[in-house]
Amino acid sequence: MKPTRSRGLLRRNFLAGLSSGALAALSGRSAVSAQPPEVRNPRATDGDERAQPVWDEMLTLTVGVDSGDMMGSSDRVLQAAVDSVARLGGGTVKLLPGTWQLRNSVVIPSRTRLIGSGVDTVLTRPASVSTELAADSDWYDQEITLRDASGFRLGDGVVLRATNPHNGAMTVIKRTLIARSGNRICLNDGLRENLWLSGKPTCDSLYPLLTGEHSADVTIEDLALDGNRGETGHLDGNYGGCIFLQDCKRYTIRRVTTRNNNGDGISFQICHDVVVQDCHSHDNADLGVHPGSGSQRPVIIGNRLERNSQGLFWCWGVKFGLAQNNVIDGNHLYGVSIGHNDTDNIMSHNVIRNSGTFGVLFRNEDRGLDFWPNRNVLEHNTIENSGGEDGVAIEVLGKVRDLRFTGNRILESRAPEKRTGIRISTEAGKIEMSENSITGFQTAIRDQRAIQP
């Protein structure tokens, strides 16, 4: 008799749950742990992205303001350059010393390297302009009507924002202006959200300076990005930054300065295996480096994160990351903040000092069954001079558990006042603490779990 569909499913589920050793026993063979052969002297093989030769020389285009293979000082020449090397399968765009004024994001394609000439290569933006929409646009439209279009040009990057008429949430749409008749403007793509006058929609010329979406294997090195914070509106790190990445993989950002942005310095959302190394992110309105929602295995090493609102902000569900050898100094709220389901990360050998409120904050994430930042490690960090007269170096909130604080130097070189080294909430679970040096505080450790009734 043929097995029924349900019996077949049960059998497959049973086999799927067996270990490799159990499967080997069932087949009468011993389990073998074999490794595939090492690839030596690889050849360029069509479609093989894993094993490729290391070439002595690769296609490189130079771009300068008044010299190079391509010349110009706008985002258009930079976009043309990266698109040109991407069309041929990848390569390097080398930016010469100079200043580029960007009216839209430069979108980085896969398998490209954007290399500057150090701090003498500067990408910046003009002052932003803002206006209200003058007519309703529906979700299927590809045009908007501006109340005042005088400050906008075709090719500009814009952000459209409104209150969602159905649920009261914020609607945020990023687009490019591509055609116009008076104040009627055509966009590069459909809206897919309603922009009704009842939601008070606005249009602002705001955009990341460099951005990537669904791209991979990219390097950005040796340049400076200046967001012109004093003359631009605010765009938060879920949508922008000097560098903003969405759904990307295997990016390396090295020796890059991100500064003076009315938002984040570097933000990446649902991006995996991103390396941020030896960068300087400073004087941004929001976050210095923002490993964003769902990002796996970020490596943040050797950076200076200074005078931002927060230095390093672990967002939602960031896991298996490493933050090491960073200097996180003078950030106005927190040096480091970690929260919603950010688990299994290591913060090691960092210097976190002069934070406005807390040196390190473990956020209270009472949103579901277990969204706290569990199983994170703080080891061998220096955390110095955190907050005001009642400041706290390490603040642990909510029901977080299985943390490890080892070998940290936690100090207060000002007067003790009402300051605390480590403060632990009444609801927190297991926290392993060993070999930490805590000096200069009124209270070294305030463990509120120990004083519960």
Each residue of 91-129: pLDDT tens digit? Answer: 999 999 999 999 999 999 999 999 999 999 999 999 999
Residue 203: enclosing H or E segment and its boundaries? strand 202-204
Write down the CATH number for the domain with range 131-204.
Answer: 2.40.30
pTM for the model: 0.90
Q: What are the residues whose beta carbons fall under 8 Å from the beta carbon of 348, sequence distance 6 or more?
A: 322, 323, 324, 325, 377, 378, 379, 380, 381
Answer yes or no: are the C-beta atoms of 177 and 206 closer than 8 Å: no
Instruction: Output DSSP code: residue 96.
Output: P
Beginning with the edge strand found earlier in the chain, give each strand of the sheet holding 130-132 in spatial order: 130-132, 202-204, 157-163, 170-181, 184-187, 143-145
Q: What is the mean pLDDT of residues 246-255?
A: 98
Q: Note the pLDDT of residue 34.
A: 82
Report whether pLDDT(306) > 50: yes
- Asked if the domains at 60-126+207-451 and 131-204 fall in one CATH topology, the answer is no
Residues in the chain: 453
Residue 77: enclosing H or E segment and its boundaries? helix 75-87
Q: Note the pLDDT of residue 225.
A: 98
Answer yes or no: are the C-beta atoms of 340 and 373 closer than 8 Å: yes
Choose among 177, 196, 195: nearest CA to 186. Answer: 177
Report the range of poorest mean pLDDT among 11-15, 246-250, 308-312: 11-15
Residue 8: enclosing H or E segment and its boundaries? helix 5-16
3-state helix, strand, coil in the chain (%, to 5): 10, 40, 50
How far is it, in rounded angstroms, from Cα 299 to Cα 254? 11
How big is the chain by its Cα radius of gyration, in Å?
A: 26
Instruction: Indicate the burial class of 404 (C-beta count within 10 angstroms; 0-12, 13-18, 19 or more).
Output: middle
Q: Note the pLDDT of residue 393.
A: 98
Residue in this structure with the two tokens 């606005």, named with its chain if needed: 202
Q: What is the pLDDT of residues 37-50, one digit of tens each?
A: 989 889 988 888 78
Report whether pLDDT(198) > 50: yes
DSSP-derived pairing of the beta strands 112-115 and 98-101? unpaired
Domain boundaries, the chain: 60-126+207-451, 131-204
How far is it, in rounded angstroms, from Cα 44 to Cα 277? 29
Within a 10 A sphere around the Cβ of 344, how many other Cβ atoms? 15
Report whether pLDDT(12) > 70: no
pLDDT class for 148, splitting at 50, 70, 90?
very high
CATH class of 60-126+207-451: mainly beta
Q: Note the pLDDT of residue 51.
A: 85
Report whether pLDDT(14) > 70: no
Q: What are the residues whose beta carbons fall under 8 Å from the beta carbon of 123, sequence distance 6 or more?
A: 78, 99, 100, 102, 106, 209, 210, 223, 224, 225, 226
